[in-house]
Amino acid sequence: MAEKKYIETVGRRKTASARVRITAAKTTSFTINDRTAEDYFPLAVMHQALNAPFKTVGGAFAVTVLVKGGGLKAQAEAIRHGISRALVEMDAALRKDLKVKGFLKRDPRAKERKKFGLVAARRAPQWSKR
C-alpha cells in the first residue's frame, strides 16, 4: 500500500468550516485560501491560534487550508481544530496532549434563530400597561 502524501481533515467552529491538508515539511508554513497566513489573518492572536497545536506537539508541517463561513476568529479556531484532528490522525499518541488543551473540542455555538412574535431570538416586544 502506498503511503499518503498528506492528511486531510475538517475543522469547525460556530458557522466556520475549514478543510485542512497537512504535509510533513522542514519549516511550518500556512496557505489559507491561496494566501499566506499573514495576509489572511491581520491579528497576532489569530496566528497564535494557528500555531498552538504545533507548539503543543512540536514538529514542522506545511498546511494548506480552504476555509469559509463565520468571522475571522471563528475561521482561525476552525483551522486550529482541523490541524489538531490531522495531527491525531498522523499519531494517535498526541491525542491526550491536544485534548487537554481543548483543541479537539468542536464549538457548536451559533446564533439562535428569531422566533415569531418576538423582536429577536428571545427579546420580546416592549410591554405597556396602558
Domain CATH number, residue 52: 3.30.230.10
Instruction: Specify burial of residue 118 (Cβ count, 10 A radius: 0-12, 13-18, 19+).
Output: exposed
Is there a domain that residue 42 lies in? yes
Q: Is the pTM of this model over 0.75?
A: yes
pLDDT tens-place values along the chain, 130 residues long:
556 788 999 999 999 999 999 998 888 888 999 999 999 998 999 999 999 998 988 888 999 999 999 999 999 999 999 999 999 998 899 999 999 999 999 888 888 999 999 999 999 999 999 8
Is there a domain that residue 23 lies in? yes
pLDDT score, position 124: 96
Dihedral in degrees, nearest 10, Cα atoms 88, 93, 98, 99: 100
Closest CA to 66 of 121, 105, 8: 8
Domain of residue 57: give its range: 7-101
How many structural domains compose the chain?
Answer: 1
pLDDT score, position 2: 57
Is there a domain that residue 2 lies in? no
Sheet of 35-36, strands arranged across: 7-13, 16-24, 61-68, 29-32, 35-36
Alpha carbon 81 to chain centroid, angstroms: 4
Is there a domain that residue 88 lies in? yes
